[in-house]
Amino acid sequence: MTDIWIVFAIVAGVIVLFIWDRLPVIVVCVGCALALWATGILTIQQSLAGFGDTATIFVASLFVISAGMERSGVTAWVGQALMDKSGDSRTRLIVFMTLAVAVLSALISVNGAVAALLPVVVVLAVRLGRAPGRLLMPLVFGAHCGSMLLLTGTPVNVLISDALTDATGSGFGYFEFALAGVPLVVGGVLISVLLGEKLLPARQSKTLPSDLSRHAHTLVEQYQLSSEVQALRIREESPLVGTDRRDLDLSQRGGLALVSVGAAAGEVAAKAAVGDVVELRRDQLRAGDTVVVRGDKSAVGDFAQEFGLVIVDDVDSAPTANTLFNRNSALAEVVIKPRSPLIGERFFPGMVTPSGDLIVLAIQRQGKDLTAGEPLAAGDTLLLQGTWEAMETRLEPAEVLVVDSPELVRRQALPMGPGAQTTLVILAAMVVLLATGLVPAAVAGLLAAGAFLLTGILNVEQLYRSINWTTVILVGAMMPLSVAIQQTGAAQLLAEALVSAVGDSGPRVLLAGLFILTAVLGQVISNTATALIIIPISVVTATQMGISPEPVLMAVGVAAAASFLTPVATPTNLMVMEPGSYKFTDYWKFGLPFMIWFFVVAVFWVPLIWGF
């Protein structure tokens, strides 16, 4: 009996500390696990066992998959598609946006999906001349709806499926969630379309997240790369054949500047798309190589004539931004640091950096091209071109400061980058493994994460950084609380109280009660923590009432996803608060219809699919 009250006290303490919100979440969670040990309810092994639970491992591996999709440009591609397809109609935009974010969040969880689409939606809002506030909350709420489509949508889904396995021997199927998720998404779309204009504020926001999706164009404009860029192909009889690229001196030729030297088409035919200039990686020029120069048309003509070069038309017409910025070629802007060893060196456009795999496209000082031959000084800006890999590994932190990190640019601005196909294959394989139940979910997740490492889409460092450790630790450290609630009989006690309160009014009243309890708790503390507390209670209650735990657990899952009423209900609600310039009270106004719809689905729809 005393153990039960200790558990209740710990639960109350955890909830109070979460609401107080002055201690780090992980301190509260791990403190909770230690409290269970210190009060003698669990052994030290038991109170730490949650970290080795399959659900914890699976949740961690989902973050890795999300990062893999982001890094290989799959999520950027979804954003791009959204931009291209949405057009000018508001309804169409909201429908497409909600569907896109719903599907993404089902695959890579709410956080990943919202983070990926937030910048795109802000750009769309600006382009369509609407307040971002009218679009951002529908985006986040759409993601909450979508998280109920698949097992991988939120950690809560994993937990309720595990709980069902413990109770009945088999969990919810990978796609089974969609039976509840599809009505939620459809309802969400309707609410956003019909009520959005009325319930959402149209304030202009002061701070918008930086948009890197047009990064290449910005750079091309800054360095005037598009004005008068010409590609020249070296003929067999050209005197340039056999010379060293570093001897290409254009400084005496009426303001001509070398942009880049491309390899002959044959060498790279397999890789290069039409119009791509693939950078030369050797010093000697050969016939067929392309020299890209910038400058006055007549000067280019003179130069071409004198050295036996053919002016190539198709490169000229292809947008320069795409030529220089694609999956094989990255651009990065770097600033020479004070006290950098490069100060005093003489760099010129077209030269290869000493590391050998980056090319200097332009050098500017105070927004103007640096005079040829002038030594570098602190604060000069260089535009570099090279492979994405070289960009991420070769920039020497002792020499330069990178203005926008290539990794960030790559994520936002490069749809379907290197490794995108592989990523999709890995994702498909994981979905098949999960859907068929061939291996347990955690094993499927780990195999997919391992595949990302082995194919080089993520490196070990990026993998660790991609995992949201707070969530993982929360799941691992709170799981023993779940166990303790069940073991000590605390769940039993609460279940008996619930059963007697429900009385003869039937199981739907139980679902309604659990929904309200979960949803209220979920507005103030993390959904995952809420689920870990409610799940054991709901399973025991279902057993007591002699009904199947399936509808009860699913209703809890739906309720846990219903984080609509406050900005602090989930991290994603908070994420859009500033860009949407929302106030605290804006959330419940738009959230209430969603909440009512979720209630209807949980209490009336769910028992139709999963009978009592």
Which 393-432 residues touch other proteins, going by CB under 8 A? 398, 401, 403
Q: Which residues contact 474 (CB under 8 A, 6 or more apart)?
A: 25, 26, 29, 526, 528, 529
Q: Whole-angstrom Cα distance, residue 417 to residue 77?
A: 9
Give the residue with the Cβ less far from other proteins, 266 or 367: 367
φ, ψ dihedrals at 284, nearest 5°: -80, 135
Q: How far is CA 81 from the centre of its chain?
A: 16
Give the residue with the Cβ less far from other proteins, 131 or 447: 447
44 forms part of the interface with other proteins (CB under 8 A): yes
Q: Whole-angstrom Cα distance, residue 16 to residue 31?
A: 13
53 forms part of the interface with other proteins (CB under 8 A): yes
Q: Whole-angstrom Cα distance, residue 603 to residue 502?
A: 14
Work out how close the CB of 58 gets to other proteins at its nearest, in angstroms, rounded to a whole number: 10
180 forms part of the interface with other proteins (CB under 8 A): no
For 254, the 3-state DSSP assignment is: coil
At position 299, the amino acid (one-letter code) is A
Which one of the spans 22-30, 132-140, 419-427, 514-522 is the region binding other proteins (CB under 8 A)?
22-30
562 forms part of the interface with other proteins (CB under 8 A): no
Helix axes 441-454, 54-71, angle to 10 degrees: 40
What number of other Cβ atoms are within 10 A of residue 83's Cβ? 17
Give the residue with the Cβ less far from other proteins, 38 or 273: 38
Instruction: Kindly provide the residue ranges of all beta strands, DSSP E only, lying in 366-473, ordered along the sequence.
Output: 368-369, 381-386, 400-402
54 forms part of the interface with other proteins (CB under 8 A): yes
What number of other Cβ atoms are within 10 A of residue 427's Cβ? 21
| Residue window 84-123: x/- pattern of binding to other proteins, with contact defined by CB under 8 A | ----------------------------------------
Give the residue with the Cβ less far from other proteins, 397 or 503: 397
16 forms part of the interface with other proteins (CB under 8 A): no
Q: Whole-angstrom Cα distance, residue 534 to residue 566?
A: 20
225 forms part of the interface with other proteins (CB under 8 A): no
Give the residue with the Cβ less far from other proteins, 464 or 604: 464
At position 108, the amino acid (one-letter code) is I
67, 117, 414, 446: which one contacts other proteins (CB under 8 A)? 446
52 forms part of the interface with other proteins (CB under 8 A): yes
For strand 400-402 and strand 229-234, is the pairing parallel, antiparallel, or unpaired?
unpaired
Work out how close the CB of 403 gets to other proteins at its nearest, in angstroms, rounded to a whole number: 5
Helix axes 155-168, 549-561, angle to 10 degrees: 170
56, 323, 492, 527: which one contacts other proteins (CB under 8 A)? 56
Give the residue with the Cβ less far from other proteins, 338 or 354: 338
Which 457-476 residues touch other proteins, going by CB under 8 A? 459-460, 463-464, 469-470, 476
574 forms part of the interface with other proteins (CB under 8 A): no
Q: Tokens 């003869």: give the residue.
A: 504
Work out how close the CB of 154 gets to other proteins at its nearest, in angstroms, rounded to a whole number: 21
276, 289, 333, 399: which one contacts other proteins (CB under 8 A)? 333
CB-CB contact of 283 with 244 (8 Å): yes
Give the residue with the Cβ less far from other proteins, 186 or 453: 453
343, 351, 435, 509: which one contacts other proteins (CB under 8 A)? 343
Give the residue with the Cβ less far from other proteins, 48 or 493: 48
Six token digits for residue 207: 């701070």
Q: Whole-angstrom Cα distance, residue 166 to residue 172?
A: 11
281: left (phi over 0), alpha (psi -120 to 50) or beta: alpha
454, 497, 501, 520: which one contacts other proteins (CB under 8 A)? 454
173, 201, 288, 379: which one contacts other proteins (CB under 8 A)? 379
Give the residue with the Cβ less far from other proteins, 4 or 33: 33
Give the residue with the Cβ less far from other proteins, 559 or 575: 575
607 forms part of the interface with other proteins (CB under 8 A): no
Work out how close the CB of 470 gets to other proteins at its nearest, in angstroms, rounded to a whole number: 7
For strand 368-369 and strand 358-365, is the pairing parallel, antiparallel, or unpaired?
antiparallel
48 forms part of the interface with other proteins (CB under 8 A): yes
153 forms part of the interface with other proteins (CB under 8 A): no
Give the residue with the Cβ less far from other proteins, 16 or 310: 16
241 forms part of the interface with other proteins (CB under 8 A): no
217 forms part of the interface with other proteins (CB under 8 A): no
Q: What is the DSSP letter of 601?
A: I
Alpha helices in 89-242 (DSSP H): 90-128, 133-146, 155-168, 178-199, 215-222
CB-CB contact of 343 with 377 (8 Å): yes
For 273, the 3-state DSSP assignment is: coil
Give the residue with the Cβ less far from other proteins, 462 or 544: 462
Helix axes 54-71, 155-168, angle to 10 degrees: 150
248 forms part of the interface with other proteins (CB under 8 A): no
Q: Whole-angstrom Cα distance, residue 91 to residue 88?
A: 9
Four-CA torsion 198, 199, 202, 207, nearest 10 degrees: -160
9, 12, 16, 27: which one contacts other proteins (CB under 8 A)? 27
Work out how close the CB of 120 gets to other proteins at its nearest, in angstroms, rounded to a whole number: 19
Which one of the spans 78-86, 151-159, 441-449, 547-555 is the region binding other proteins (CB under 8 A)?
441-449
Q: Whole-angstrom Cα distance, residue 513 to residue 603?
A: 9
Number of residues that bind other proteins (CB under 8 A): 57
Which one of the spans 51-59, 98-106, 262-270, 518-526 is the region binding other proteins (CB under 8 A)?
51-59
What number of other Cβ atoms are within 10 A of residue 191's Cβ? 23
What SS3 string covers 480-523?
Answer: HHHHHHHHCCHHHHHHHHHHHHHCCCCHHHHHHHHHHHHHHHHH
Work out how close the CB of 108 gets to other proteins at its nearest, in angstroms, rounded to a whole number: 20
Given the rule CB under 8 A, which residues bind other proteins?
23-27, 30-31, 34, 37, 44-45, 48-54, 56-57, 210, 218, 222, 333, 335, 337-339, 343, 364-367, 377-381, 398, 401, 403, 439-440, 442-443, 446-447, 450, 453-454, 459-460, 463-464, 469-470, 476
